[in-house]
Structure formats: C-alpha cells, structure tokens
Amino acid sequence: MDLRQLRYFVAVVEEGSFTRAAARLHLAQPGVSAQIRRLERELGLALLDRSGRSVSLTQVGEAVLPHARAALRAVEGVRQSVDELTGLLRGRVAIGLVSGAATQAFELPTLLADFHDDHPQVEITLAEDTSERMLDALRRGELDIAVVGLAEEEPPPNLSLQVVIDEPLVAAMAPDDPLLKDVHRTSVPLATLCDRPLISLPRGTGLRGALDRACAQAGLRPRIAFEAAAPQALAQLAARGLGVAVVPELPAGTAAEFGLRTLKITDPQPRGRIALTWQTHGPGSPAARAFLEHMRTALAR
C-alpha cells in the first residue's frame, strides 16, 4: 500500500468515475484502475463497486475512505510544516471579490502581483460573485479570503473582517432631474428618494443590503427600477435619465465624466462598506495565511 494508491482511490470516489479521476490527476485511466486493483488485492476485498453506471463504494470502501483521507491530510501537513520551517511557501489561495471593489482605493491586482513576485509557487485563483454567496463559500471552506460588501454593522457569524472602504452612499442623477430644480440643494431625504425609480446593485450585494436596511429602519420600501452588477453601469443608466442611482460617493472627475450630479442621502444616511473577510480561526493553509497577512499589512498602510 502506498500514498499514490490512496490518492487515486479518493479521487475516484470524489469524481464517481475512473475517467474523470484520471483527468483530474493528469494520468491515463488504465494506470489509475490498475493501482486501485492492486490496493484491493493487497487488502483482500473490493473497495469500489463497478457494476453501475457510476463507481460507488462498497461497505469496505466506506470504512477505508476516512482513513485514506486522514493519511493524505497527514502527509500534506508534514509538507506544510517543512515548507514553513524552510521558508518555502507553496500551495493554493482561493480569493473572492465583490464587483466594483477593485478600485483605486483598493488595488487588489497590485496586491496579487506583489505576492506572486514573492511567492511564485503559490497558485492564486480569483472569482467575482455576490457578497452573500461569497460569505457562504467562506464558511464552507471553498474560499480562503473574500472582499465583500457589508450590509450589517456586525461581522457575519464565524467570520472576521477588516473594513477597507467605508463611505456614504449618494444619489446620482442626470442634471435635468426634478430633484435638482433647487440649484442650492445638496442632499435628499431617503423618504423622498424612495418615491423615485431607483437604480441599484442586485440583492446579495453589500451596497444593496445597506440601502434595503436603511429603508427598513425608516419604514420605507424602495422602488428599484433597474439593477446592474457594476457601479459604473449604474452611473450610465442614471446619466440617461432612467432613474436615480444609489452608489458610493463619486469622485468629482467620475461624476463629470458621466454628466451626473450627486446629492447626499439623509434621514438616515446609508453607507457602503467593503471588507476583507476570512474564517475566524484563520485560513487553513500556510499560503492562504501568508496572503491574508500580506493583504492586511498592505491595507493598514
């Protein structure tokens, strides 16, 4: 019995197919089958039932599987310990990013590139999604770190966070919008805004959650006319007079670029908050822990 056979066995169980397991392992299917049959001969019993359309565990296989996984985890732990002691960092880091977070205030591409230069053997994956789905993925261990929008004041359960952007949300509109008839106007109550067609990010995003929470606190129901996944798209829709966009505070140059005017939202004032988030007990791998420390240090500066 060797670790290679155990790794092949676990891969076939997880994929439910010798063919898919071989593709995942970048091996030829006959070689994977031969190694598992050799393992079964050594144990004296079949681990896999090959009679159906997909491969399944026998009763013996069910008993062996947790031990096989534990053995593979133990070996990986040995490798990680040696890597930490020798200063060699390798592995994989899975990162989630909410749309619109990679701005000048939060230059994630630069942080990724700097870390890759220091640790070229670490594989980094990056995916965009809604904040709600990424928080769930963090809890399941599918992501190591996520940059999410926060809808609530308190940290999500079982997760820790570092707020990196905290700014008021504003109402952005075309210059001929009725709200701008008073040229001296600088703000608009949330109740007045909720009587207008609004343009917002979709449900599941932190910005939308902050808007919905502010409306709920004031006993209001917003009229969401358009949804878009990126703040820039919201600005473009508002510039065409299709409604009032609720967006993070825009730099003067950005507002001028789209031909928009902005008003502060009051009574209450919702805020857009972007945070670096991870499991409270910390990422599982040395590579993910190193990347988290890299990001926290850079953002603190």
With 60 as the cut, is the pLDDT of residue 39 above it?
yes
Q: What is the mean pLDDT of the chain?
A: 86
- Domain 91-163+275-300, second-level architecture: 3-Layer(aba) Sandwich (3.40)
Evaluate whether 3-86 and 165-273 have a shared fold.
no
pTM for this model (two decimals): 0.62
Whether CATH 3.40.190.290 fits 165-273: yes
Look-up of token digits 């857009």:
272
Query: Residue ranges of the domains in the chain?
Result: 3-86, 91-163+275-300, 165-273
CATH code of the domain made up of 3-86? 1.10.10.10
Confidence band for 243, pLDDT divided at 50, 70 and 90:
very high
Confidence band for 85, pLDDT divided at 50, 70 and 90:
low
Average pLDDT over residues 175-191: 91
With 80 as the cut, is the pLDDT of residue 242 above it?
yes
Confidence band for 86, pLDDT divided at 50, 70 and 90:
low
Handedness of CA 252, 257, 260, 265 (dihedral sign): negative
User: What's the confidence (pLDDT) of residue 273?
Assistant: 85
Residues near 238 by beta carbon (within 8 Å), at least 6 away in sequence: 172, 173, 174, 199, 244, 245, 258, 260
